[in-house]
A and B are shown apart, each in its own frame.
Chain A
């Protein structure tokens, strides 16, 4: 068994250079790689392009990387709830590429699966379709979308083993499994890291083949954006 373990987040992100293309798992603040984001903040790098469904909030998640001006471009589906993001965007300091959420998920999946492009109905007749090939299948129009790949993908799982196998919890799975496969180097941070052989193979969501580095994170805050309770 190949051991993928690294010591901590600092070691895991130590060689990520400026201007690289990153993917980061998470939906809202659920399932984001908190430890790696903190470690990236300690690095003196900039010009990053980040593929992530959302852009965090002002003082948490990817919002922290934005505040430190480390990000050149975001590729996302929804970027509300972030005043610093808005300021940088309106000032032309930040580029943003907004992509329908299902198209984003499938482009990342395609990147990891070796499928260079696919047709989807999402966005036909909208500005998303501008400049893209449109083709009819069985009487309905679809547009051609390309794969997305990254230099590094950074994911967060619930449990993992030293072979890089991952298990996610709840809706913290979201984009993490596809991103794991679409990064040349996938860094996985997990809440609980065990020896290879201790996870049930029937329950693995992301097989270790996609993961190059893994470590057990600490001090997870798991901030809640919309705490909503039953009355």
Chain B
């Protein structure tokens, strides 16, 4: 099973040179730590910053400079600041190439649920609905099963959905999966030491296994 950092490390391999990327809160934020230095990418923060830099040192902290998770950040070289309408114009306009976000559930046709649990406190969707409705490539970072052991990869979402038919790839603590155009999760890679059978038993939606499934490789 992968740690959260290993999930982030595996997702970082999906990043391509020249991409503008929006990273969600949680595991997706960790992806930034694993993007290879030789790649030139720009991280977008939907509260109005293109070019998120590293977290500040104590004496660099600026309360007027935060990311969408409300963490203090710095600006990378060549960054730009803008208002929220402009920020979502970038997102809806298709200028952000890759969105990486967390999820509570993903369905086998690519629906995602990550904003509301009925009967519990509802915090709101923030920018997630805009992001998943807009980016061409959406990768989900999540645990394969909930804390109570229920599969989060389902035939259809049981929770209120955030967006329909939008998730392209899922990286969990057990596997890398792609959403098939015809429905179903195509098993692409296994976490080291995790069997196809285990992944199958923990995937409630349709799992498609094509030939030998390789283990993920970590440098």
Contact = CB atoms under 8 A, between A and B. Distances in A.
Interface of A: 27-31, 53, 76-80, 86, 89-90, 96, 98, 100-106, 108-109, 120-128, 158, 168-178, 205, 222-230
Nearest to B45: A171
Given A30-B66, A126-B129, A171-B64, A98 B124 contact: yes
A29 B91 CA distance: 23
B87 interface: yes
A171 B47 contact: yes
Contacts of B68: 27
Given A53-B84, A230-B56, A79 B123 contact: yes
A126 B161 contact: yes
Interface stretch (B69-77, B144-152, B175-183): B69-77
B61 interface: yes
B124 A77 contact: yes
Contacts of A225: 66, 70
Which of B49, B127, B134 has most chain A Cβ within 10 Å? B127
Interface in B2-53: 45-49
A192 to B, nearest CB: 13
Interface in B80-98: 81-85, 87-88, 91-92
B44 to A, nearest CB: 12
B105 to A, nearest CB: 13
A86 B121 contact: yes
Contacts of A168: 81
30 contacts: A27-B47, A27-B66, A30-B66, A77-B127, A78-B124, A78-B126, A90-B121, A98-B124, A100-B125, A101-B46, A105-B87, A105-B88, A106-B85, A109-B85, A120-B92, A120-B133, A123-B129, A126-B164, A128-B129, A173-B81, A173-B83, A175-B83, A205-B83, A222-B63, A225-B66, A226-B71, A228-B55, A228-B56, A228-B72, A229-B56
B217 interface: no
A134 B62 CA distance: 42
B214 interface: no
A122 B129 CA distance: 5
B72 A122 contact: no
State the majority secondary structure of interface residues on B: loop
B134 A121 contact: yes
B84 A230 contact: no
A69 to B, nearest CB: 19
Nearest to B47: A27
Given A125-B161, A126-B163, A224 B127 contact: no
Contacts of A86: 121
Interface of B: 45-49, 54-58, 61-73, 81-85, 87-88, 91-92, 111, 121-130, 133-134, 160-164
A172 B64 contact: yes
B91 A171 contact: no
Nearest to A140: B133
Given A102-B91, A170-B64, A230-B55, 14 more contacts: A27-B68, A28-B47, A29-B63, A30-B63, A100-B125, A101-B46, A102-B84, A104-B84, A105-B88, A106-B88, A120-B92, A168-B81, A174-B84, A177-B83
B120 to A, nearest CB: 10
A77 B125 contact: yes
B64 A126 contact: no
Contacts of B92: 102, 120-122
Contact of B83 (A79, A98, A124, A174): A174
B57 A171 contact: no
Contacts of B130: 100-103, 120, 122
